[in-house]
Structure 1
Amino acid sequence: MEACDALSVAGGSTFHISGFGTDEWPFDVAYDMSTFMEQLPPLLAGVRERREVAVDLYSQGVERTLTFRPFGNLTVIRCESRTAWIPDPECESLEHGELVAMLSKLAHDFARGLKAINSELSEADPFARWLKGGA
C-alpha cells in the first residue's frame, strides 16, 4: 500500500487492467493497485506451480474475484463480480508462459518504478528481488 501511494504521489504511474468485456477497469494506482500487488507473490507462485489460485480485488467499485485455474498449457481465468457489473465472457484464457511473463514483467516494472522515484522501498523485499528479475 505504501509503495502504491508513493508511485501515485510521484505521478506519471498508471496501472491498466481489462478483460471480461471491459476495456478499462476502474483502477487507480494509490489504492486499487495495492489490492492486486499485495496478492501478486502468491498469484505468481500459484500460476508457476500450475495450481488454482484466486485474487480478491476487494476495493470499492471494483469488487471482483479472479480465479486462475491451470488447464493443459493454458490458464483459465474466471471473473466473479460482487457488483452490478457482469463479466462477459465470464472466463478467459492465456497461454501459461505468456501469463507468467506478464506477471513477472508487472513485478519488475513496479519495482523499477519505485527505483525511478528514488523510493527507499525499492531496496526492501520483495521489490529489490523483483528489480533483479526474481519475481
Structure 2
Amino acid sequence: MSPPTFDTPVAHDLDLAEDYESLVMDACELLAETDCRFRVAGFGQGPWPVDISYDLSSVIEQLPQALTALRRKNRAQIDFCGQGFERVVVFVPLGDQITMTCTTQTGWIPRPG
C-alpha cells in the first residue's frame, strides 16, 4: 500500500491558498497554547529563537512551494522573518544531495554559512 498523499494549494488557486494559510495559522495558534515545541538549530546557533504561532506557521505555509521546487531539482528557500531574526535558509539540489546555506539581515553571522 502506498503512503497517503496530500493536495497542497497551487499559486493559481488563490482561494485554496488563502484557505490553506488560514488553516495553518489557526492550527499553529492552537498548538502554541499547548506544551508543543518548535525547535530549529544550526549554522552555529541552537536553538534559534523561534515560536510556534508565528515561525512554525510561516514555515508550514512555505513548505508546498519549497517541496515542489526541490522535487523538480530546483533551488528552494524557507524564510524566517520574525522581527530582528530575519534569516533565509536556501536549499540547492546537487545530484542526490541538497546543500543548505543560511543568510541573515541581522548582526548574527551563521557559522558555517
Shorter-chain TM-score category?
0.7 to 0.9
Q: Which has the higher helix share?
A: 1
How far does residue 70 in structure 1 lie from its aligned partner after superposition? Answer: 0.7
Task: Measure the CA separation in 2 of the matches of 1:61 and 1:36.
Answer: 17
* Structure 1 residue identity aligned to 2:32: S
5+ long unaligned stretches in structure 2 = 1-24
TM superposition score normalised by structure 2: 0.73
SS for the counterpart of 1:13 is coil
**What are the residue-to-residue correspondences of 1:79-90 with 2, within 5 Å?**
79-90=102-113
How many pairs were matched up? 89
How far does residue 72 in structure 1 lie from its aligned partner after superposition? Answer: 1.5
Task: Measure the CA separation in 1 of the matches of 2:93 and 2:50.
Answer: 26
The reply on whether 1:3 has 2:3 as its aligned counterpart is no
TM superposition score normalised by structure 1: 0.62
Task: Measure the CA separation in 2 of the matches of 1:29 and 1:88.
Answer: 25
Task: Measure the CA separation in 1 of the matches of 2:59 and 2:75.
Answer: 17
Aligned partner of 1:65 in structure 2 is: 88
Asked if the contact 1:26/1:61 (under 8 Å) is kept, the reply is no
How far does residue 61 in structure 1 lie from its aligned partner after superposition? Answer: 3.1
Greater than 4 Å deviation, 4+ residue runs: none
**What are the residue-to-residue correspondences of 1:19-98 with 2, within 5 Å?**
19-90=42-113
5+ long unaligned stretches in structure 1 = 91-135
Task: Measure the CA separation in 1 of the matches of 2:63 and 2:84.
Answer: 20
How far does residue 25 in structure 1 lie from its aligned partner after superposition? Answer: 0.5
* Structure 1 residue identity aligned to 2:80: L
C-alpha RMSD over aligned residues: 1.1
How far does residue 23 in structure 1 lie from its aligned partner after superposition? Answer: 1.8
* Structure 2 residue identity aligned to 1:16: R
